[in-house]
């Protein structure tokens, strides 16, 4: 009995909120590789649509920017980026104090630090 060939994929890191900015709602989309030639890798995207990429470029770096969807495709599954933890109120208050003009800061730096602190206080 013939052994089944392992299915290969190209991976895409997709943010559900890409149009509102990177909010961290990432998913990894898989695009099934259907055929490989010396110059191209053919894959399906969006269900049944067939597309291709340059095989030498993706095998050299492990990733390639695929212009039709304006995203990067990867040979191996990428790690999902994590959003940095927002600063606490204590940290923001300290940054505001450090930016105060009496402590050597500028008026603009203090105003910006106070705005960040006040915005953080208002958010639940």
Sketch the domain layout of the chain as residue ranges.
9-74, 89-122
Global pTM?
0.58
Q: How far apart are CA 83 and CA 6, in angstroms?
A: 34
Residues of the chain with pLDDT under 50: 1-2, 4
Q: What was the pLDDT predicted at 7?
A: 75
Length of the chain (residues): 124
Proportion of the chain in helix, strand, coil states, percent, rounded to 5: 35, 30, 35
Q: What was the pLDDT predicted at 14?
A: 80
Q: Considering only CA atoms, which of 122, 114, 121, 112 is closest in space to residue 88?
A: 121
Residue 74 half-sphere exposure toward CB, CA atoms < 13 A: 12
Q: What was the pLDDT predicted at 4?
A: 47
């Amino acid at each position: 009995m013939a052994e089944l060939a392992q299915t290969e994929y190209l991976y895409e890191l997709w943010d559900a909120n890409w149009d509102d900015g990177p909010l961290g709602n990432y998913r990894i989309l898989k695009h099934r590789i259907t055929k490989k030639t010396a110059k191209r890798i053919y894959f399906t995207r969006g269900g049944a649509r067939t597309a291709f990429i340059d095989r030498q470029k993706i095998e050299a770096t492990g990733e390639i920017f695929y212009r039709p969807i304006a995203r990067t495709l990867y040979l191996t599954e990428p790690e999902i980026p994590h959003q940095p933890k927002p600063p606490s109120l204590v940290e923001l208050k300290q940054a505001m104090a450090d930016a105060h003009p009496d402590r050597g800061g500028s008026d603009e730096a203090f105003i910006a630090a106070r705005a960040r602190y006040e915005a953080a206080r208002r958010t639940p």
